[in-house]
Every structure is written in C-alpha cells, then in structure tokens.
Amino acid sequence: MSHTLDNLLETRRSTRAFTSDPVPRDAIERMCRAARRAPSGANLQPGQFHVLTGSVLRGLVRALKYAQEQNTPHVAEYSYFPSPMPAELKARQRAAGYALYTALGVGRRDVDGRRAQFARNYAFFDAPVGVVVTIRRDMGKGCFMDLGMSLMSFLLSAEDQGFGATGIGALANYGPVVQNHLCLPDDEMVVCGIALGVADDTAPENQFRTERAGLNEFTSFRGFD
Ligand SMILES: Cc1cc2nc3c(=O)[nH]c(=O)nc-3n(C[C@H](O)[C@H](O)[C@H](O)COP(=O)(O)O)c2cc1C
C-alpha cells in the first residue's frame, strides 16, 4: 500500500463494526511485527498479543457474555483513568461518547441503548479477529507507555493494509475471566483487547470522527523566536 504516514495518521479512526470478511493470518502477522518494531525503554519490548479467531474467539465472547449475565464484578487490575476525572477530561470523554451514541441514534437518556453498545465491547464488535493484549504484572508505568506505542504500530499497520480496528480497554474489566478462559500465565495481566477486521463502511458507528485539541492546547514552543 502507498499511504503516507501523515495520511494514515489523519484518516485512521476506531472501527466498531465489521464485515464478515476474514483477515489473512499473514496480514495479522505483519501487524504484530509492526507492533514489535516499536521502540521501548532498554528494548524490553513489553506486551504479548494473543490473536483469536473462529471458534476460539467465539468461545471467549461466550464466556464474557456469561460473565455479564452473572453480574461478575469488574476488576480494575490497573488504573486507566484518573479518579475522580477532572472536568476538562470528563468533557472530552463525554464528547467521544456523544459522537458515538449520536451516530447510533442512542439518546442521552437511553440507558438501555448505551448499555447495549457497551456490551458490544465484549463481543469484540463482532469482528472476525480479536486480540487480547497482556503485559507482565511486574512491569512499571514506563512499560505501559512502550506497549502503547506497540498498539499504535499495530493499529496503523492494520489501517495501512486496508483493515479497521479499535482498542477495547473495557476488556480489562473482565481480565480474570479472559485469563482463566485462555489459560494465560499467572504473571500476565490483560491490558486491553483489539477488534480487527474489514470496516463496514455502511455502519452508523463508523460514520463519525472524534476531535482533537488544537496545537496550542497541548504544546509549548520556547526559544524559537
Ligand atoms: C487502548 C485503547 C482502549 C480503548 N478502549 C475502548 C473501549 O473499550 N471501547 C470503545 O468503544 N472504544 C475504545 N477505544 C477507542 C477510543 O474511544 C478512541 O480511540 C477515541 O475515542 C478516539 O477516537 P478515534 O480512535 O476514532 O480517533 C480505545 C482506544 C484505545 C487506544
């Protein structure tokens, strides 16, 4: 493919609805290799990518559905968001949620509609491929930063090869369920999932773009004058 990096960075977005087209294994291996090319402190290369499809993915989705039906408590094995969330960040979170729910026609007070969309996380948005991303439990915050870069490389490689993907941080809420179901080693913890497939360009949840802060909101340039 001949995307420029700028073009990829500008056009990529989270994909939350997929066609039933499969993703060839060699394409996924390329994404995984791109992920591993990410730089990392002391070149530790933290993180594991467990790639699931077919009956194995369906089995995990069933286990997650069962966990939801049983009201299995969410377990926070690592903290993702600040608690309490500062107002200006809450506003960003709300805007992203609002964009998604508006695209889906789910109203602000439609609790059931929101819950149903949230549950889609645990079905990997019906993607043909689900990835469970884990990290060793003893890794520090810096290693999470490194893993984030791997995730971005994975997502960009997916886009570059014509596929769509989204991160699923919500998967970590059921980390122990995923861990048990997949018999993952005890010293790994679930960081997030990735749903991967061919984007369904007709689906409403794929029709919106999220916004970003302007340059002067997050940068300072000094000594350039
Ligand atoms: C690590 C990670 C975890 C995420 N977890 C979820 C999730 O659980 N559910 C969801 O719908 N989107 C999730 N997202 C997607 C974000 O909401 C999305 O990246 C953000 O709103 C910016 O939109 P964009 O990806 O379309 O540019 C996640 C993204 C990342 C990188």
**Nearest Cα residue to 147 out of 187, 191, 184, 188:** 191
The contacts of residue 193 (CB under 8 Å, 6+ apart) are 121, 124, 130, 131, 132, 133, 167, 168, 170, 171
Q: Ligand 1 pocket: which residues have CB below 6 Å?
A: 13-14, 16, 96, 121, 151, 166-170, 192, 210
pLDDT band, very low/low/confident/very high, at 3 (cuts 50, 70, 90): confident
Query: 3-state SS of the chain: helix, strand, coil percent to 5?
Result: 50, 15, 35
- Predicted TM-score (pTM) of the model is 0.97
Peptide bond into 73 cis (omega under 30): no
Distance 92 CA to ligand 1 centre (A): 12
The contacts of residue 128 (CB under 8 Å, 6+ apart) are 18, 20, 21, 22, 23, 53, 57, 196, 197
Distance 94 CA to ligand 1 centre (A): 13
pLDDT digits (tens, 9 = 90+) for 165-222: 999 999 999 999 999 999 999 999 999 999 999 999 999 999 999 999 999 999 999 9
pLDDT at 1: 53
pLDDT at 209: 95
Distance 62 CA to ligand 1 centre (A): 22
Rounded mean pLDDT, 123-138? 98
Q: Let me know: does 124 contact 166? Beta carbons within 8 Å.
A: no
pLDDT digits (tens, 9 = 90+) for 12-36: 999 999 999 999 999 999 999 999 9
Rounded mean pLDDT, 150-157? 98
pLDDT digits (tens, 9 = 90+) for 76-105: 899 999 999 999 999 999 999 999 999 999
| 13: its two tokens | 């977005």
Pocket test residue of 134, 168, 171 for ligand 1, highest count of atoms within 8 A of CB:
168
State how far the Cα of 17 lies from the Cα of 203, in Å rounded to an integer: 6
